[in-house]
Chain A
Amino acid sequence: MSDKTYRLLFWGEILEGFDEKRAWNELTRSTKITPERLNAIRERGKTAVLFKGLSVRQAFELQEKFAAAGVKTHLKEDPEGPPDLSPLAEEDAPPPRVPVSATAKPSGSLHPQEHSFNFTGEGGEYFRIWIVNLLLTILTLGIYGPWAKVRNKRYLYGNSFLDDISFQYLAKPLQLLKGRLIALGLFAVFLTLQFIHPIIGSAFMFLLMLGMPWAINRSLAFNARNSAYRNVRFDFRGRTGEAYWVFLVWPVLGSLSFGLAWPYAFYKQQRFYAANSYFGTTPFEFNGEALSYYKIAGLGILLAIAILVVSSLLGNLFLPLAFIGPFLTFVLVGAFFTVQMSNQLFNSTNLADLYFSSTLETPAYLGIYAVNTLLIVLTLGLYYPWAKIRLMKYRASCLSLAGLSNLDHFLAGVQKQVGATGQEIAEVFDVEFGL
């Protein structure tokens, strides 16, 4: 490998922000190319071989030297065989332009393609990562927490595939550490106040809760910007004011209206989430309608009534059934809402001309949930990693993306980083916006 030699090519490109004249001078001084030839290269789009037979180190140093003067060069391996001793040659072929010329317009086949999601994590493997995380977190009295979290998320993202390419979680643990310390500090203040002076403690909590829409908004942005697919980061550009509407005003109105406005609040929340999300510079579009949310709520209520009636009828035959009725309703209707809301969100969302399809089903979800809960309880929590993997596998298997374009043409955006404080506060106070 090391005996391979390299050639340095010039395609007539000057690096941005450099003086063309200076670059030209450097080229004519260090090489034997005449200014006339340089013009020809630039105007006719040809390739000049500046040097041949270079070692990696030489090639690297020359490239840096030219770059310092603003000359953009390209490296290529010398062809095998006896070295060509001619010092300089002009190749007639136009430059191959390997680096992507990205186009915003999605081009693709004429037939819709389906891109399927797939989750490849394994319970055993995840358990090993989880238990080591836990141990290190305990041994470091919690300081390792952010590292553990990043490793955990990297595993889950890295095993989530769309087509055959995985997602990536890119947050840095140190970013999280500061935010987590602030969040835990606030929580400790609350616990202490609650203890010493419950009324002031409650007032403090109330103030913190007033800050939650802000925290959720920041949390969404932080998560999106640290998630990538094909090295293009996601983005979230929700405004704080809007976050207050959907996470505070609408839910409060929902409660004041005896639940009548709740479906509308959920509709607003999903719209806020989806319509402010971006893949690189391409926005997700949301076309859900409030009516669908009322339909889901209506079905859920009918389901709840049906279960309550049946269980109290059966309760006359066998008393314990009457006791578990309310519990059963809670679990069944909870699963129904989770499934329906998740389907609703994805089925109303598209990315350019690619449309999501989510086909989760309540019975299957409920089965997984029941088995997970049972095994978690029986193993005193140690089954948790397997439970998580099982659920992720099911969710991924029900999700797909279809449309005419392929996934090659999305442009990455230039992004500001967002601090992790909001995200950690949202997590510590358990007000994250779940999907």
Chain B
Amino acid sequence: MTAVQGQYYDGASSRRIEASLALADHRLVLKAGDDILSIVRADEVEISPRLGDTVRRIEFASGAAFETADNDGIDRLLAVLAPSPLAGLLHRLESSYPNILLSLLLVVAFVWWFAAYALPWSAERIAYRLPREVMGQINRQSLSLMEGDWLKPSRLPDERQKELLQGFEALITASGLERPRILFRDSEILGANAFALPPDTLVFTDALVKLAQRDEELSGILLHEMGHLEARHGIRQAIQNSALTLASLLVFGDISSIADVGIGLPLVLTKLGYSRGFEREADSFALAHLHRHKIPARHFADILLRLEQQSLCEQGKKDAGKACDKPAATPALFHYLSTHPDTRERVAAFQQ
């Protein structure tokens, strides 16, 4: 068996010495020229596991090290010194293309299964087991955080508020749903918007109420938000997003440098996907209830379109200083970057 050529560093300085490592009588003999630097048993040194074509390192107890690019040479020495079926297992896994293909398939399948099924399934179970008091607590806190800067007392006339509440109540009672707490708030930041805070709070902004041309439009929105409440979407989404972040941290250990794009982007896309899924669910919930009460579903479609037109115009004004009549259509790719499904798709469901 030929000796393995490499470099020796004594651990005290950076000086490099050409050296060789050979096997004699079940011991490793380290030589520089014809001087023997060390004779050791295999268990007295630490031999780094093979990794691609990177330099192999044999570390001695003294802190000295022998480094060599001759990976096969070291493997031959090891096969005699410490034969083990596990030796180089990882390297064998990493070198075999069938194994790589299998790993790739397993990883992709697992990630997909986890993100598309396992996580939403568990989040739903957890959300329905969560005590109402806990959710109420979260809800009160979220509201109190938003109250003030984000949400100001409504400036709608009291009569208008009462009138709307009565209409909403009738609808909810007729639907046999649990009665939520409905709040009207003025918000410059949120604009025309409505949102649900689990377990039982709905918030409508003044701007949304004003944007509506008919009360049926607001009924559609109410039912959509009730859909979120009934299915505990808020909590489920929070659980799913946190668990996803934690899981990716567990797998990747860190999210930094270009991993921001590589890992961060799929993460964001998945979270947005969850959000769109919940919106679709809430839409079908609203649609079913609108049908039941014989309220024409197109009213909900109308206000959705108006909302979109308004937000696109505002965006356009901000960016280009242009007034707009017809907002430009968003490219299909952007749908994946959105928290809500494409408005056209949503509207189509309600116009049928």
Contacts and interface: CB of A to CB of B under 8 A. Distances in A.
A154 B51 CA distance: 8
Contacts of B134: 196
B329 to A, nearest CB: 11
A384 B267 CA distance: 14
8 contacts: A98-B37, A131-B107, A137-B251, A191-B242, A196-B134, A198-B145, A322-B319, A384-B258
Is the contact region of chain A dominated by helix, strand, or loop, or is it mixed?
Answer: helix
Interface stretch (A228-236, A269-277, A294-302): A228-236
A149 B253 contact: yes
A320 B333 CA distance: 14
Contacts of B31: 77
A98 B55 contact: no
Interface stretch (B7-15, B219-227, B277-285): B7-15
Contacts of B33: 98
B253 A409 contact: no
A199 B145 contact: yes
B112 to A, nearest CB: 10
Interface string A264-307: 00000000000000011000000000000000000000000000
Interface of A: 1-2, 4, 6, 55-57, 59-60, 63, 74-77, 96, 98-100, 102, 120-121, 125-129, 131-132, 134-135, 137-138, 141-142, 145-146, 148-149, 151, 154-155, 158-159, 165-166, 168, 180, 184, 187-188, 191, 194-199, 229-232, 279-280, 312, 315-316, 319-320, 322-323, 325, 369, 372-373, 376-377, 380-384, 387-388, 391, 407-412, 424, 427-428, 430, 432, 434
Nearest to B255: A430
B258 A372 contact: yes
A77 B94 CA distance: 40
Given A77-B34, A166-B55, A325-B319, A151 B90 contact: yes
Nearest to B315: A323
B253 A180 contact: yes
A409 B36 CA distance: 23
A373 B254 CA distance: 18
Given A4-B24, A231-B65, A129 B51 contact: yes
B261 interface: yes
B90 A6 contact: no
A210 B134 CA distance: 29
B263 to A, nearest CB: 7
B320 A230 contact: no
Contact of A315 (B24, B64, B141, B320): B320
B87 interface: no
A180 B253 CA distance: 8
Contacts of B265: 376-377, 381
Contact of A198 (B36, B54, B141): B141
B170 interface: no
Given A131-B100, A191-B242, A232 B13 contact: yes
B54 A154 contact: yes
Given A74-B35, A145-B253, A319 B246 contact: no
Contact of B100 (A4, A55, A132, A188): A132
Contacts of B315: 323
Determine which residue in B32, B254, B316 has the highest number of CB atoms from chain A within 10 A of its CB, and name it.
B254
Closest 4 CB pairs between A and B?
A: A158-B54, A231-B9, A102-B13, A75-B36
A372 B57 CA distance: 32
B104 interface: yes
Contacts of B48: 154
A409 B9 CA distance: 12
Nearest to A322: B320
A197 B259 CA distance: 31
Contacts of A409: 13-15
A428 B14 contact: no
A6 B36 contact: yes
Contacts of A387: 258, 262
Contact of A159 (B1, B16, B54, B138): B54
Contacts of A60: 27, 39
